[in-house]
Structure 1
Amino acid sequence: MKNLNKIIITSTFMAILLLLLSITVSVSAKSDTFKPPDNYLIDCGSSSQTTLPDRRTFSSDSTSSQYLQYHGRQINLADQSADLPLPIYKSAKVFDSKATYSFHVSKTGWHWIRLHFFPVKNKEFKLQETKFTVIAGETLVLLHEYTPKGIEIREYLTNVTTPNLNIMFSGEKDSPAFVNAIEVVSAPDMVITEHIDALFPVGKKIDGITKFSFQKMYRLNVGGAVIGPGNDTLGRNWDSDQKFLKPQSAAKNISIAPNVVTYLEGGSPLIAPPTVYASAVEMGTSDTIAPNFNVTWQFDLDHSYPYLIRLHFCDIVSKSLNELYFNVYVGGKIAISALDLSTVTNGLSVAYYKDLFVEPSMVSSPFLIQVGPLNEPMGTKNAILNGVEILRVNNSVNSLDGEFGADGRSATGPSRGTVAAVGFAMMFGAFAGLGAMAVKWQKRPQDWQKKNSFSSWLLPLHAGDASFLASTKTSLGSKKSAFHSSTMGLGRYLSFAELQEATKIWDSNSVIGVGGFGNVYLGVLEDGTKVAVKRGNPQSEQGIHEFQTELQMLSKLRHRHLVSLIGYCDENAEMILVYEYMEHGPMRDHLYGKGLPVISWKQRLEICIGAARGLHYLHTGAATAIIHRDVKSTNILLDESFVAKMADFGLSKDVGMGEAHVSTAVKGSFGYLDPEYFRKQQLTDKSDVYSFGVVLLEVLCARPAIDPALPREQVNLAEWAMKWKRKGLLDKIIDPNLVGRINPESMDKFVEAAEKCLSNYGVDRPTMGDVLWNLEYALQLQDQEKTEEGSNGTGSTLENDAPLAPAVDNRPVTTPSQNPAEVQVIEDHSGTAMFAHPANLNGR
């Protein structure tokens, strides 16, 4: 009897527990509801209200002036027995002149606009041939010269900031405009966030997303059936993904009960209903011994626009945690590396989504979204996807359809009104130019090539912009050209013949660097001096500008920790600068990637101190402050004694007297860019300080600032290292070659300097003078440890000044994709550094 009572009590307890669990799951999956403050549903042209099968009621606009000032023409389907999916397509409102619907907005913010079209057949209008434009607000072009071909729903999402939302219909020429139904419905703030990740380059953040408008291109319930507005949390349509799978045999549908799906804290069914996450596609042959393929969906996208891609995931295939790891590819690039859903969500059957911003240059045809397994022994060889949304983003003239804005401006050139005039002017100018060229060709002097030399290339259009190149009365191509001035510090003049001999007639084996300007060659002058010869490329406008900048800077800079200019050549239309040769090349080569002997911690500190002194001089020692603008480990060069010198001043900027910043377009290298400079486009000396903070982490961790091959959370060194710093575990990710060789106090002071450099706001960052002081103090602490251990008679020290063994590549192990071409590593060399070790470098 007692046993029976125990069984009854246990069974009752289990039943209650299961009931509570089901209630909890249900609440977590469905607790978020949204009642839209604005919910306008209009059945255009209907004489009475219309109720749809999903119980939504559409009001009539036939008699009320609430929405329309001009009522247009009301038409109805001639054949009322026609098989239509919804009754709202049985009528339409036709406008033979401009007409505007106006909707009062009770709460500003995100709003859906859904326009329903079906070219109803009637005797008076040929709606199948009409062309019309639709504009929302004052400037947002929704449709341009649009002709509906059948039943079509166009859905948009826009951030309304005014008390009224107007939607204007305008026929092209003599064509009427029409619409069958309109929806204007509020959407919750969470539907689109302010900041999202860019697909490429990895680590870039896209800000100000709420300023954009969007058009839904695709919304798929992957692995599941169609979901109508009545079954969605925000009245959306979700289509099946079957026709987009290529090939379908690579995929297999899987599903669970929707009430099992839960959401992360901060997540919501408003992003996507549980039904979406309860179905998925997995690899069709995931149970084979070694599956080695991607599941692929193909889409047609117009590459004139950016896109927001939203991917939905929910691990409904695993039996336990940490079983499923897979890669996600978007547009042929790796979007998420080694995605471990159970770690991200800390559970199974938990909803998760990822937004990515895709620039027009990244949009291919066809556009692919793929998932594929990791080539790793761990986990299950499988990959899944639960949902896809692709939203078009408005272009530069605020249009979601066509290249012209509401004011006639073009996204790619002049307005429509000026196209014809510009075309005629271009044709007339071309003929006139050809005639002038013919005359000049007959009259050109025999020494024209010499006169069209380096000096004249560098002169801007306005002479006042190049006062530093004030020429003498002699020919610009002569040895007494504008550059021959002792006050300018440009050094000796070197003839083209001398430099040809020094570089073995520009031998390709002498190339030690490649950049946007051209090549850098290792040369040996007649007296045996080794030099780095930078030869400009006449076809590179970017190179000419950077040459100008570097010439301006180096003509007034002389410092032990700045690379020096030895001389120049401006013969035969050439632009060539000659620098001192830096025997040991870029600092980065001695940290990772080249297999060179490891440099000790003390050497690293001395190199950082030298670079900091060079930057400190730029900021404070010259007549006006100079911002380097491209501080990175490849622009810190080492001479034969490992003395560090800053190089590559092609992007540098002067700061005028009394000015705190320079307003300029963002340039530099990803991974090193100051986020405040990126946001405001205001360059300050603290921008160099931020970049130098990234360099300090490179020195400590011996890995690149950006490494796209790593899992996304590790791609950006600054973000990744600072996360470990906040955990107090930064010592876990430092260069293994330094373990046990650093005085902890020295490391703490070094890391403190790096962390302050990486503050989000420039005002919170130290000056380069402060950074220099902290690095010198870190060196003292290291030397003190060495001295103390030596005085203790231990016979060993933490520091060994002799080179260590070849460097160990200590970057975290990554998994290559199935197609190596899908992972593109960013090469962050600018190529303008004068270094000893040849490398395959790309220009900026």
Structure 2
Amino acid sequence: MARRGTFPLALLAALAALTCAAGQGRPVVDDGAQTPPTPSSFTPKDSFLIDCGSAEAVNTSDGKSYKTDAQANHLLAAKDAFRVADDKADVPSPVYRTARVFKEEAVYSFPLAVPGWHFIRLYFFPLKGGPDVGVDLASATFSVATDANVLLHSFTADAKPVMKEFLVNATENHLALKFQPLKGSAAFINAIEVVNAPDELVTDNALSVAPTLGPVSGLAESAYQVVYRVNVGGPAIGAGNDTLGRAWETDAAYVQDKNAVKDVSVPTSTVKYPDGSSRLVAPTLVYASAAHMADAETKSPNFNLTWRMDVDASFGYLVRLFFADIVSDSLNDLYFNVYVNGRKAISGLDLSTVTGDLAGAFYKDFVVNASASADKLTVQVAPMGQDTGRVDALLNGIEVLKMSNAVNSLDGEFGVDGKKADDGTGSRKAVAAVGFAMMFGAFAGLGAMVVKWYKRPQDWERRNSFSSWLLPIHTGQSLAEWGMQWKRKGLIEKIMDPKLAGTVNQESLNKFAETAEKCLAEFGSDRISMGDVLWNLEYALQMQDANPPEGAPKDGDEHDSSADGSSVNTISTEGSSSVVTSVPDTSTTAAGELFQQLADMKGR
């Protein structure tokens, strides 16, 4: 079969430099190295489970064992000892049938065996208090805080059982929980869990989706409250079926058009984990079920599957999305887009390439800043709308975690020390590096152009030569992602400028695309340096010069000129055009000096 054209040689300037922010499902490597499988179960070194106010130890149906009030009394510093109980309360767990009540500040102090991430789970149900309590727990107002974070501020429990779940990064060898009643009121607690979590549960990096898509760091400095944990397309998962004791609900309350989605599931043995990926971030049951497009082959490619959830717009959120391609029959056949709050967060996601297999587990973290959030959080998936294979899209799971604000609070504008947030937005401590990719792209683009300018300045005088530096612009999709999809299919020449068909040496093209792919590696340690980028560019150019295909333009070809003698080149982008004036030859010396400086750069 005849090959249609070739990838424009110097378009690496744009493609190679657009780096992907650090993410989660680590790509499969091709060096043959084997990574030992990660454990599928977790045994915490810190595990404090207390049934507050109870005189008897409690074992729940999900496999948890709680100590009595007396067994945990050494952890508590309190001036009063009020207890309430109701053995006949209609509640989902026996831990809600007893409670400890405090009319003054009370502190639980937990000695920790390991620092790092810890779950804090607080159980509340306002039982009726006896005459000695003197307070109606249904109207009790109080705050709960650690030494560093406000978890609940001026909290009043609903008249139904509720569990509030938090995730904090404990940096000391102890963790304190302070219950602070409003003056004239009381605080109460039915049960407490303080359990350490695996380090990989929260990484320090994610992608910000607003105001611009780009990497953010500093997530380890935040505290979190679990707002939603959803098993999309599958059944509810109880805490007993999650090695970290987490509960997952179904997506029935959040999917916006139930007729548009089709639930699908596979045996958990079908799910695969790429080398180095964690099995603890979510239970395998989450990856083994999904929602995808109903009647996928006949639906409009512009159709979106949507999930919507209520949130507090004054806080930022960490949104974790889970994926596993359990619907495709072959690799590289499913490409779809992912949107968070209407903004494209991933373009052309090809799960089989990211994970190296079908049904490979993958997740991605996104940060929605308070300034960009509304009172609704929306997650959408949609087919690409291009001829890239199966017209479909899927989602396996969603986690939404509220992030602590500038004064380390998860509830309100006041911190532990009483300081108020500067603005009402709950602005994040996470440091955005949104401009990094653009800056890197600019340098690589400049470097690539300098190479060609320095080695072959006459090319800037040739008709249409400037178009070889640019990828065709495809609306709504990253240039880098779009180009790499065609490379993975072995059809990179299909995105060539047709005017350059047959003019680029195949080995030169392959070197060009290989360099681009290395620059787009997800982890910085896997990317090549700027010096290597420019060396590879020059090497590709040498191969082109040494053995150009028959019919390739040669030096001295005629070119169009403007009135002032400079070259004018037209760049066509989907039916539009623009005019670019070439750079005069007199700057070649400066270009050479700049090239040398760029070639010495080592950053990734």
Q: Please state how far the C-alpha of 1:201 moved relative to its aligned partner.
A: 5.6
CA contact (8 A) 1:45 1:76 kept: yes
CA contact (8 A) 2:296 2:391 kept: yes
Q: Distance in 2 between matches of 1:799 and 1:35?
A: 73
**Per-residue deviation, residues 607-639 of structure 1 (Å, max 9, x unmatched):** xxxxxxxxxxxxxxxxxxxxxxxxxxxxxxxxx
CA contact (8 A) 1:701 1:733 kept: no
Corresponding residue for 2:127?
Answer: 120
Q: Which moved more, 1:169-178 or 1:66-75?
A: 66-75
Corresponding residue for 2:13?
Answer: none
Corresponding residue for 1:80?
Answer: 87
Q: Distance in 2 between matches of 1:690 and 1:378?
A: 28
- 1:446-461 → structure 2 map (5 Å cutoff): none
Structure 1 residues 377, 219: CA separation in 2 closer, same or farther (over 3 Å shift)?
A: same
1:141 partner amino acid: V
Q: Please state how far the C-alpha of 1:67 moved relative to its aligned partner.
A: 0.8
**Per-residue deviation, residues 392-449 of structure 1 (Å, max 9, x unmatched):** 11111111111111122222359xxxxxxxxxxxxxxxxxxxxxxxxxxxxxxxxxxx
- 1:175-194 → structure 2 map (5 Å cutoff): 175-194=185-204
Q: Please state how far the C-alpha of 1:696 moved relative to its aligned partner.
A: 5.7
Q: Which moved more, 1:245-254 or 1:734-743?
A: 734-743
Report whether the alignment pairs 1:797 with 2:554: yes
Corresponding residue for 2:208?
Answer: 198
CA contact (8 A) 1:309 1:355 kept: yes
Q: Distance in 2 between matches of 1:732 and 1:378?
A: 12
Corresponding residue for 2:373?
Answer: 363
Report whether the alignment pairs 1:216 with 2:226: yes
Q: Distance in 2 between matches of 1:704 and 1:172?
A: 62
The percent identity for this pair of structures is 39
Corresponding residue for 1:636?
Answer: none
Corresponding residue for 1:492?
Answer: none
Corresponding residue for 1:142?
Answer: 151
Corresponding residue for 1:374?
Answer: 384
Q: Which moved more, 1:93-102 or 1:353-362?
A: 353-362
Q: Equivalent of 1:710, from 477, 480, 496?
A: 477
Q: Please state how far the C-alpha of 1:354 moved relative to its aligned partner.
A: 1.3
1:381 partner amino acid: V
Corresponding residue for 2:101?
Answer: 94
Report whether the alignment pairs 1:35 with 2:35: no
Corresponding residue for 1:590?
Answer: none
Q: Distance in 2 between matches of 1:129 and 1:351?
A: 45
Q: Equivalent of 1:265, from 264, 275, 284?
A: 275
Q: Distance in 1 between matches of 2:332 and 2:530?
A: 40
2:193 partner amino acid: E
Q: Please state how far the C-alpha of 1:109 moved relative to its aligned partner.
A: 1.0
Q: Distance in 1 between matches of 2:98 and 2:207?
A: 44
Q: Please state how far the C-alpha of 1:265 moved relative to its aligned partner.
A: 1.3
Corresponding residue for 1:252?
Answer: 262
Q: Distance in 1 between matches of 2:421 and 2:552?
A: 72
Q: Please state how far the C-alpha of 1:366 moved relative to its aligned partner.
A: 2.3
Structure 1 residues 165, 668: CA separation in 2 closer, same or farther (over 3 Å shift)?
A: closer
Q: Please state how far the C-alpha of 1:324 moved relative to its aligned partner.
A: 2.5
Q: Distance in 2 between matches of 1:102 and 1:666?
A: 35
Corresponding residue for 1:832?
Answer: none
Q: Distance in 2 between matches of 1:262 and 1:739?
A: 41
Q: Please state how far the C-alpha of 1:203 moved relative to its aligned partner.
A: 5.4
Structure 1 residues 220, 289: CA separation in 2 closer, same or farther (over 3 Å shift)?
A: closer
Aligned residue for 1:263, secondary structure, equals: coil
Q: Distance in 2 between matches of 1:58 and 1:183?
A: 9
Aligned residue for 2:139, secondary structure, equals: coil
TM-score, normalising length from structure 2?
Answer: 0.70
Q: Distance in 2 between matches of 1:381 and 1:87?
A: 48
1:142 partner amino acid: L
1:714 partner amino acid: E
TM-score, normalising length from structure 1?
Answer: 0.51
Q: Distance in 2 between matches of 1:795 and 1:49?
A: 83
Corresponding residue for 1:59?
Answer: 67
CA contact (8 A) 2:472 2:573 kept: no
Corresponding residue for 1:320?
Answer: 330
Q: Please state how far the C-alpha of 1:230 moved relative to its aligned partner.
A: 0.6
Q: Distance in 2 between matches of 1:174 and 1:275?
A: 47
Report whether the alignment pairs 1:304 with 2:314: yes
Aligned residue for 2:67, secondary structure, equals: strand
**Per-residue deviation, residues 90-149 of structure 1 (Å, max 9, x unmatched):** 11111111111110111111111111111111243211111111111x221111111110
- 1:374-773 → structure 2 map (5 Å cutoff): 374-413=384-423, 671-673=437-439, 693=447, 702-703=469-470, 709-711=476-478, 714=481
Corresponding residue for 2:30?
Answer: none
Structure 1 residues 709, 406: CA separation in 2 closer, same or farther (over 3 Å shift)?
A: same
Q: Please state how far the C-alpha of 1:310 moved relative to its aligned partner.
A: 0.8
Q: Please state how far the C-alpha of 1:342 moved relative to its aligned partner.
A: 2.1
Q: Please state how far the C-alpha of 1:226 moved relative to its aligned partner.
A: 1.3
1:807 partner amino acid: I
Q: Distance in 2 between matches of 1:809 and 1:86?
A: 62
Q: Distance in 2 between matches of 1:398 and 1:164?
A: 18
**Per-residue deviation, residues 179-211 of structure 1 (Å, max 9, x unmatched):** 111111111111111222222466521122211
Q: Distance in 1 between matches of 2:446 and 2:89?
A: 71
Aligned residue for 1:342, secondary structure, equals: helix
Q: Distance in 1 between matches of 2:440 and 2:69?
A: 54
Corresponding residue for 1:637?
Answer: none
CA contact (8 A) 1:694 1:705 kept: no
Q: Distance in 2 between matches of 1:319 and 1:328?
A: 21
Q: Equivalent of 2:161, from 147, 151, 158?
A: 151
Q: Distance in 2 between matches of 1:252 and 1:194?
A: 34
Gaps of 5+ in 1: 1-27, 415-664, 676-687, 812-844
**Per-residue deviation, residues 450-485 of structure 1 (Å, max 9, x unmatched):** xxxxxxxxxxxxxxxxxxxxxxxxxxxxxxxxxxxx
Q: Please state how far the C-alpha of 1:233 moved relative to its aligned partner.
A: 2.0
**Per-residue deviation, residues 730-786 of structure 1 (Å, max 9, x unmatched):** 999997777888999x99xx99xx99x99x99xx989xxxx9xx9xxx9xx99xx89
1:62 partner amino acid: A
CA contact (8 A) 1:702 1:735 kept: no
CA contact (8 A) 1:741 1:798 kept: no
CA contact (8 A) 1:324 1:379 kept: yes
CA contact (8 A) 2:348 2:481 kept: no
CA contact (8 A) 2:215 2:433 kept: no
Q: Please state how far the C-alpha of 1:284 moved relative to its aligned partner.
A: 2.8
CA contact (8 A) 1:29 1:259 kept: no
Q: Please state how far the C-alpha of 1:703 moved relative to its aligned partner.
A: 3.7
CA contact (8 A) 2:37 2:276 kept: no
Structure 1 residues 30, 248: CA separation in 2 closer, same or farther (over 3 Å shift)?
A: farther
Aligned residue for 2:164, secondary structure, equals: strand
Aligned residue for 1:714, secondary structure, equals: helix
Aligned residue for 2:398, secondary structure, equals: strand
2:356 partner amino acid: N
Corresponding residue for 1:806?
Answer: 570
CA contact (8 A) 2:169 2:223 kept: yes
Corresponding residue for 1:454?
Answer: none
1:37 partner amino acid: K
Gaps of 5+ in 2: 1-35, 425-430, 453-465, 561-567, 576-604
Higher relative contact order (CA 8 A, sep 6+): 2
Report whether the alignment pairs 1:44 with 2:52: yes
Q: Compute the RMSD of aligned alpha carbons.
A: 4.6
Q: Which moved more, 1:700-709 or 1:35-44?
A: 700-709
Q: Which moved more, 1:316-325 or 1:94-103?
A: 316-325
Q: Please state how far the C-alpha of 1:292 moved relative to its aligned partner.
A: 4.8
Q: Distance in 1 between matches of 2:187 and 2:449?
A: 60
Structure 1 residues 667, 737: CA separation in 2 closer, same or farther (over 3 Å shift)?
A: farther
Q: Which has the higher helix share?
A: 1
